Amino acid sequence: MTKPNATAAHPLAPTVSLAALEPAVALGPLDGRYRGAVDSLVDYLSEPALNRMRLHVEVEWFIHLCVHSAVPGVRSLTSSELELLRSLPANFDSGSIAEHAAFERETVHDVKAIEYVIKAQIAGTTLEPLRELVHFACTSEDINNLSYALMIQGAVRDVWLPAASSLVEQLAYMARAAKSQPMLSRTHGQPATPTTLGKELAVVAHRLKRQLARIEAAEYLGKINGATGTFGAHAAAVPGTDWVEVSRSFVEDLGLTWNPLTTQIESHDWQAELYADMARFGRILHNLATDVWTYISLGFFAQVRGQGTIGSSAMPHKVNPIRFENAEANLEISAALLDTLGATLVTSRMQRDLTDSTSQRNIGVAFGHSLLAIDNVKRGLAGLDVNPAALEADLDANWEVLAEPIQSAMRAAAVAGVPGMDNPYETLRDLTRGRRIGADDVRTFVAGLGLPADATERLIALTPATYIGLAEKLVDEYLA
């Protein structure tokens, strides 16, 4: 057998390099095919967003040092000086990106380049004498941890939570609308006690709401305490300043929770907690996607609205549940990334290693796949109509599920001393297991049991479609 030539050219032998095209061709789908669904995250979790937030943190630290007279010789800043400083992150644009990139080529250090950008912008102004306040007593991680905390906080609160909350409300609306629609349950894939479609959707909405509450309550921690968390440089340079208080007030003024005890890095435990909750939300949503996919395959839902697209390239009749399948895959990718981030970020060798740096640059990817999945589920749900006829036919084909209420009524009668109610479970098992029975079979059987008249009347009137217990009430009372 001839072995392939490992050095052979690509069989297409392209003459045009896609990597050289302008505008740049995306390597990943989030920046290509699916960009429209995740655009809103770019302002929070992209590389330029990181550098813009670094500018913000550096500028605010400069201002904070002046406001608190933390370093001898500082003075109050004028309104025009404050405006100049804060305009740097506020007006961060393509020119700013290019300026930072030029400094980074010189420094080969992204945070140091931010320092140089600020010093260049205040050169020749009244702020130049204070230029060494930029990045004063800071290690890069002082700036980075605060920047990431603010970026993630914004992405969660302004983008991810609104999208996820909208989906849950959409699902809750569907649950309320279908609360009275009977549906045959399937446990272990087998016909089981009927429920309602709305109650089953309400279960998922309730689960997702719990996760949203946890995510809404997330803490975003930050620190600014120097190279190994000891305020060493601060205390050595200016021993008379209460640097612990200056640090605490600065972090809290940024809207974050102050972490007083760290190594060089903020420990990132809060990120792991947040990502675990987001991944769990995604896994519950994944469960919804697979269940809805199954309900569609059973004919319980018809995909009719907004589905004027090609379902299959070969079979004209098909409308495939692609939204839910797309969501499944993206939720799996997102969960894997969130799990990896949570596991990686809480560990660091001794007082610092750099594994968190490259890991955190993938936060936007993890959020992006989650946001894309949420968008797909929302679109998928919006294209569904309930098919009551299919649900009713499924129920009517499975009268044997009434074995449960009948044997339960026999048990109650036995406890009340009604004779002839021995071995109710076994009696119903012999009637129903491994065979199909219909309405006449059930009613004839119930009439001959010798139950009290009210119980007999109630069971004879019962059908699979009316055997839904308190499903409607549960939706009304517990789906907030």
Q: What is the rounded CA–CA span in Å between residue 456 and residue 433?
A: 22
Give 312 or 98, the one with higher predicted confidence: 98
For residue 405, pLDDT beyond 60: yes
Q: What is the rounded CA–CA span in Å between residue 362 and residue 158?
A: 19
3-class secondary structure per residue, the chain: CCCCCCCCCCCCCCCCCHHHCCCCCCCCHHHCCCHHHHHHHHHHHCHHHHHHHHHHHHHHHHHHHHHCCCCCCCCCCCHHHHHHHHHHHHCCCHHHHHHHHHHHHHHCCHHHHHHHHHHHHHCCCCCHHHHHHCCCCCCHHHHHHHHHHHHHHHHHHHHHHHHHHHHHHHHHHHHHHCCCCEEEEEECCEEEEEEEHHHHHHHHHHHHHHHHHHHHCCCCEECCCCCCCCCHHHHHHCCCCCHHHHHHHHHHHCCCEECCCCCCCCCCHHHHHHHHHHHHHHHHHHHHHHHHHHHHHCCCEEECCCCCCCCCCCCCCCCCCHHHHHHHHHHHHHHHHHHHHHHHHCCCCCCCCCHHHHHHCCHHHHHHHHHHHHHHHHHHHHCEEECHHHHHHHHHCCHHHHHHHHHHHHHHHHHCCCCCCCCHHHHHHHHHCCCCCCHHHHHHHHHCCCCCHHHHHHHHHCCCCCCCCCHHHHHHHHCC
Tokens of 225: 């305490």
Radius of gyration of the chain measured on its C-alpha atoms: 32
Q: What is the rounded CA–CA span in Å between residue 152 and residue 277?
A: 14
For residue 312, pLDDT beyond 60: no
Numbered ranges of CATH 1.20.200.10 in the chain: 141-389
Mind listing the pLDDT tens digit for each residue in 158-173? 999 999 999 999 999 9
Helix 197-216, helix 269-297: angle, nearest 10? 170
436 pLDDT band (50/70/90 cuts)?
Answer: confident
- pLDDT score recorded for residue 14: 73
Please name which of 232, 223, 280, 231 lies closest in space to residue 257, comparing C-alpha atoms: 223
Among residues 80, 166, 297, 312, the one annotated as catalytic is 312
User: Residue 426: exposed, middle, or buried by beta-carbon count in 10 A (0-12, 13-18, 19+)?
Assistant: exposed
Numbered ranges of CATH 1.10.275.10 in the chain: 42-136
Q: What is the rounded CA–CA span in Å between residue 257 and residue 248?
A: 9
- pLDDT score recorded for residue 25: 85
| Whether domain 399-463 has CATH 3.40.50.2300 | no
For residue 279, pLDDT beyond 60: yes
For residue 307, pLDDT beyond 60: no
CATH homologous superfamily, domain 42-136: Fumarase/aspartase (N-terminal domain) (1.10.275.10)
Dihedral, 135, 138, 144, 147 alpha carbons, nearest 10? -60
- pLDDT score recorded for residue 480: 77
Give the mean model confidence (pLDDT) for residues 73-84: 96
Q: Give the burial string for 148-174 (b: 16+ CB within 10 Å, else e).
A: bbbbbbbbbeebbeeebbebbeebbeb
Please name which of 227, 303, 216 lies closest in space to residue 264, comparing C-alpha atoms: 227
Give the mean model confidence (pLDDT) for residues 339-358: 89
Numbered ranges of CATH 1.10.40.30 in the chain: 399-463
Is residue 109 flagged as an active site residue? Answer: no
Give the mean model confidence (pLDDT) for residues 261-289: 96
Q: What is the rounded CA–CA span in Å between residue 380 and residue 375?
A: 9
- List C-alpha distances in Å: 37 to 168, 327, 374, 379: 18, 12, 10, 11
Of the CATH numbers 3.40.50.2300, 1.20.200.10, 2.40.110.10, 1.10.490.10, which one belongs to the domain with range 141-389? 1.20.200.10
Give the mean model confidence (pLDDT) for residues 337-364: 90
The listed range with the strongest mean pLDDT (74-83, 346-355, 405-414, 430-439) is 74-83
- Among 187-196, 255-264, 307-316, the range scoring the smallest mean pLDDT is 307-316
Tokens of 186: 């399937």
Mind listing the pLDDT tens digit for each residue in 49-58? 999 999 999 9
356 pLDDT band (50/70/90 cuts)?
Answer: confident
- pLDDT score recorded for residue 15: 81
Mind listing the pLDDT tens digit for each residue in 368-396? 999 999 999 999 999 999 999 999 999 99
Strands 182-187 and 190-196: antiparallel
Percent of the chain with pLDDT over 90: 81
AA identity, residue 191: P
- pLDDT score recorded for residue 66: 97
Among residues 17, 79, 188, 313, the one annotated as catalytic is 188
- pLDDT score recorded for residue 349: 87
- pLDDT score recorded for residue 315: 47
Question: By the 8 A CB rule, do 341 and 7 touch?
Answer: no
Please name which of 207, 171, 186, 195 lies closest in space to residue 471, comparing C-alpha atoms: 195
Mind listing the pLDDT tens digit for each residue in 439-460? 999 998 899 898 999 999 999 9
Helix 197-216, helix 161-177: angle, nearest 10? 160
Q: What is the rounded CA–CA span in Å between residue 103 and residue 120?
A: 10
Give the mean model confidence (pLDDT) for residues 25-53: 93
Give the mean model confidence (pLDDT) for residues 81-108: 96
Give the mean model confidence (pLDDT) for residues 355-365: 90
Is residue 68 flagged as an active site residue? Answer: no
Give the mean model confidence (pLDDT) for residues 328-338: 97
434 pLDDT band (50/70/90 cuts)?
Answer: confident
- pLDDT score recorded for residue 13: 66
Computed over every residue of the chain, the mean pLDDT equals: 92
109 pLDDT band (50/70/90 cuts)?
Answer: very high
Q: What is the rounded CA–CA span in Å between residue 360 and residue 144?
A: 10
- Among 11-15, 346-350, 427-431, the range scoring the smallest mean pLDDT is 11-15
For residue 309, pLDDT beyond 60: no
360 pLDDT band (50/70/90 cuts)?
Answer: confident
- Among 33-37, 275-279, 470-474, the range scoring the smallest mean pLDDT is 33-37
- pLDDT score recorded for residue 379: 95
